[in-house]
Structure 1
Amino acid sequence: MRVLGLISGTSHDGIDSAVVDWTLDAGVLTGRIEHTGERPYEPELRARIRAALPPHRVDLGEVCALDTLIGQAFAVAAAEAPPCELVCSHGQTLFHWVEDGRVRGTLQLGQPAWIAERTGVPVVSDVRARDVAAGGQGAPLVSYLDLLLMAGLPGRAGALNLGGIANLTVREPPLAYDTGPGCALIDAAAPPYDRDGALASAGTVDRDLLDRLLAEPYYLQEPPKSTGKELFTPDYVKAELPLPDLVATLTALTAETVAAEIRRHRLDTVIVSGGGARNPALMSMLRLRATPARFLTSDELGVPADSKEAIAFSLFGWLTAHGLAATVPGCTGASGARILGTITPGSGPLTLPEPLAEAPVAIRFSGSPAARR
């Protein structure tokens, strides 16, 4: 079954897409990656999304407009991808409601009807809400894919995603949570991002500021836990420092908070993905602080690091279509595994595959790099 996964993450810079053709045989799920891509948001839409994020406040008229405009942008991204039988759209997170460590609700905008209308195929959407309703954090959902990817790796293994927010999945025992900021604060200080880590490499870490930032209470909370730009807003850090020093300090904050969790779980091998995996300064700081852990990118396991989350959402769509749960209760904190999402029919009658009795126990990927863009 060919499924298109679509997601815009906490960097709010554009829509990642991945078309994967999934085949299950004897418990092994093979994903042939036929396409990956990224479609940047139009500047005006990105500005409106950023203006709607905390600590800003917007009225329901703007929420309605953004739901429509984001849905239309996702529909364009879907139409540009190769044909598929199903779309799974994450949409764009605008708010993740957390009180006293418990997620009360989560809001992803991007009306799926626009995607269904444009493509004519069914759309799975609103994938986080069911896990939240079951008492979970609704994140990080990618832990389901992470655990399959880590099967067979020697020693104690983990998977790290360095997006706007950083999240870590630990294999034994299964555990996943947001560690804190990934690239969000770095991007806010040096928009749109610190290309090749140039600013961080040119700056000096301000130890006093770093120590103050490390006192954030979130880091002391026990997992499962999740966070977002509701906490780590663009105004989170106020400091009178030269820009290179500020970026170096924020980069060190991400490296130190992530490395602390890698050390805590005594990980031997860490699979890295997300935009931060392409930041040499961040990765250098992380390796230094997380010694002796070995880092490899998800590319080395057949999953493009920049497209891993879109591939994960393609997987979630396949699971939902086949009546299979896509969550790991130990990772999200939910009371049980849940089938995710709401299905919007395409242009014809809604026809789904026969439900499967058993979930895949292993995963592998194929597809040449040349076919992925």
Structure 2
Amino acid sequence: MRCIGLMSGTSLDGIDGVLARLSPQLQVEAHVHRPMPPALRAELLALNTSGPDELHRAALAANALAEAQAEVVQALLAHSGLSAADVRAVGSHGQTVRHRPGAVDGTGYTWQLNQPALLAERCGIDVVADFRSRDVAAGGQGAPLVPAFHAQVFGRTDQARAVLNLGGIGNLTLLPAGGAPVSGFDCGPGNALLDLWVQQHLGQDFDADGQWAASGQVHGALLGGLMAEPYLAEAPPKSTGRDLFHADWLVAQLQRCAGVSPQDVQATLAEFTARAATEALHRHAPQTTDLLVCGGGALNADLMQRLTRLLPGVRVRSTAAEGLPPMQVEATAFAWLAGAHLMRQPANLPAVTGARGPRVLGALYPA
């Protein structure tokens, strides 16, 4: 079985697509990354907060996202030499613009902006989408969904491992030794605040290799305020996103510590990202000896150095060391989730999301 997985994460840097053979053994056969079109990126970011004419704007943004996704699918087929008939399904996560599970009415919602019907029309391949909402309907957080995939690919019976995904938001998967239950949760910000700050002050999409953060000094009082965010102390199951870690949240934190230089703010945000993850690891899985890092944060040398310093005795390395490059992990996970849907196999982990039980995730849009 071959499936394509598409992922555009909270960082909004672009769309990653993988063509993966799921059986008899998982193997990525092609990977394509396309930058998010600037106008679409700006609109998706704006739709994270309330604004005028949201329904109309969201519908058009979903159409534009589907067209961009279709280009990635076509590039994957061209790169691999395969045709649409060779692929069973496309797993399309869509773009999260609101995430409020359990809120307001007791059920809440999670909204991934998407247009899977248009994607199926453009590609001629079945599309599986809307992976999170069934878990939310069953009382869960709808996130993170990747721990079941991490367990299959990275789990070891003889070693306590963890996987840290540093996209826009950071999430941890805890893989104990000896077959103990897998757990996982969103542990705090990933690159979202770092990208926001460097965009505001240097006009760059991201802090390449963490060089700007490395040039600054950590501001103790600011770091203390950031680490006091109540979400970090909440017990799992839990998940978060730009609904919490956004520009106004950062502004409120900075108002308590006036006069911090921009590069020192960047250094402090990098330290905050690393400490939020490492303290969560110490608290929930102190026996961990191996930390595998994926997402864009795995390519940030400064951030990786901070993780290594904060985790003495733990081997910190990219998932590339295990054969799956860091920018391919989440897209591959959604190819795997699409395959699970086709097989009618539950793919959530209730111990991770808090759902009432295992559920088949996603909805099918036939070609």
TM-score (norm 2): 0.89
Match of 1:359 in 2: none
CA deviation vs aligned residue, 1:300-355 (integer Å, no higher than 9, x gap): 21111111000000101111111111111111111111111110010xxxxxxxxx
- Pair 1:295-2:290 in alignment: no
Match of 2:353 in 1: 332
- Provide the rounded CA distance (Å) in 2 between the counterparts of 1:153 and 1:270: 15
User: Which of 210, 215, 236 is matched with 2:228 structurally?
Assistant: 215
User: Which of 174, 186, 200 is matched with 2:213 structurally?
Assistant: 200
Contact 1:54/1:233, CA 8 A, preserved across alignment: no
Match of 1:355 in 2: none
- Provide the rounded CA distance (Å) in 2 between the counterparts of 1:79 and 1:67: 18
Match of 1:17 in 2: 17
Q: What does residue range 109-128 of structure 1 map to in structure 2 within 5 Å?
A: 109-128=113-132
Match of 1:140 in 2: 144
Contact 1:4/1:18, CA 8 A, preserved across alignment: yes
Task: Label 1:159 to 1:58 Cα distance change in 2 as closer, same or farther (>3 A).
Answer: farther
- Provide the rounded CA distance (Å) in 1 between the counterparts of 2:134 and 2:319: 28
Contact 2:47/2:54, CA 8 A, preserved across alignment: no
- Provide the rounded CA distance (Å) in 2 between the counterparts of 1:307 and 1:213: 30
CA deviation vs aligned residue, 1:107-150 (integer Å, no higher than 9, x gap): 01120112111111110000111111111111110101111123
Q: How far apart are residue 153 of structure 1 and its match?
A: 5.6
Number of matched pairs:
341
Q: Which consecutive residues of structure 2, in runs of 5 or more, have no partner in the other structure? A: 78-82, 200-204
Contact 1:20/1:311, CA 8 A, preserved across alignment: yes
Contact 2:126/2:366, CA 8 A, preserved across alignment: yes
- Provide the rounded CA distance (Å) in 1 between the counterparts of 2:90 and 2:237: 29
User: Which of 184, 187, 212 is matched with 2:195 structurally?
Assistant: 187
Which structure dedicates a bigger proportion of its chain to strand?
Answer: 1
Task: Label 1:63 to 1:55 Cα distance change in 2 as closer, same or farther (>3 A).
Answer: closer
- Provide the rounded CA distance (Å) in 1 between the counterparts of 2:28 and 2:211: 32
- Provide the rounded CA distance (Å) in 2 between the counterparts of 1:205 and 1:130: 42
Letter of the 1:213 partner, please give it. Answer: L
Q: How far apart are residue 154 of structure 1 and its match?
A: 3.5
- Provide the rounded CA distance (Å) in 2 between the counterparts of 1:179 and 1:103: 22
Contact 1:52/1:58, CA 8 A, preserved across alignment: no
Task: Label 1:189 to 1:103 Cα distance change in 2 as closer, same or farther (>3 A).
Answer: farther
Q: How far apart are residue 103 of structure 1 and its match?
A: 6.5
Contact 1:103/1:137, CA 8 A, preserved across alignment: no
Match of 1:369 in 2: none
User: Which of 32, 46, 51 is matched with 2:41 structurally?
Assistant: 46
Q: Which consecutive residues of structure 1, in runs of 5 or more, have no partner in the other structure? A: 25-29, 347-373
User: Which of 243, 256, 266 is matched with 2:275 structurally?
Assistant: 256
- Provide the rounded CA distance (Å) in 2 between the counterparts of 1:255 and 1:58: 38
Contact 1:20/1:32, CA 8 A, preserved across alignment: yes
Task: Label 1:222 to 1:55 Cα distance change in 2 as closer, same or farther (>3 A).
Answer: farther
- Provide the rounded CA distance (Å) in 2 between the counterparts of 1:208 and 1:147: 38
Match of 1:360 in 2: none
Q: What does residue range 158-169 of structure 1 map to in structure 2 within 5 Å?
A: 158-169=162-173
Measured on the aligned residues, the alpha-carbon RMSD in Å equals: 1.7
CA deviation vs aligned residue, 1:59-105 (integer Å, no higher than 9, x gap): 21112212222122212222222142311100111110145697721
Match of 1:310 in 2: 331
Q: How far apart are residue 152 of structure 1 and its match?
A: 2.2
Contact 1:204/1:245, CA 8 A, preserved across alignment: yes
Contact 2:107/2:137, CA 8 A, preserved across alignment: no
Q: How far apart are residue 180 of structure 1 and its match?
A: 0.6
- Provide the rounded CA distance (Å) in 2 between the counterparts of 1:56 and 1:170: 38
Letter of the 2:274 partner, please give it. Answer: A
- Provide the rounded CA distance (Å) in 2 between the counterparts of 1:189 and 1:103: 34
Match of 1:90 in 2: 93
- Pair 1:226-2:265 in alignment: no
Match of 1:247 in 2: 266
Comparing 145-154 with 157-166, which one deviates more in the overlay?
145-154
Contact 2:319/2:326, CA 8 A, preserved across alignment: yes
Q: Secondary structure at the match of 2:316?
A: strand
Q: How far apart are residue 58 of structure 1 and its match?
A: 5.1
- Provide the rounded CA distance (Å) in 2 between the counterparts of 1:32 and 1:243: 43
- Pair 1:33-2:28 in alignment: yes
Contact 1:19/1:34, CA 8 A, preserved across alignment: yes
CA deviation vs aligned residue, 1:220-251 (integer Å, no higher than 9, x gap): 11001000001001232123432211110000
- Provide the rounded CA distance (Å) in 1 between the counterparts of 2:220 and 2:319: 32
Q: Secondary structure at the match of 1:94?
A: strand
- State, as a whole percentage, how many aligned pairs show the same letter: 38
Task: Label 1:153 to 1:284 Cα distance change in 2 as closer, same or farther (>3 A).
Answer: farther
- Provide the rounded CA distance (Å) in 2 between the counterparts of 1:100 and 1:44: 31
Q: How far apart are residue 57 of structure 1 and its match?
A: 6.1
Contact 2:126/2:365, CA 8 A, preserved across alignment: yes
Letter of the 1:224 partner, please give it. Answer: P
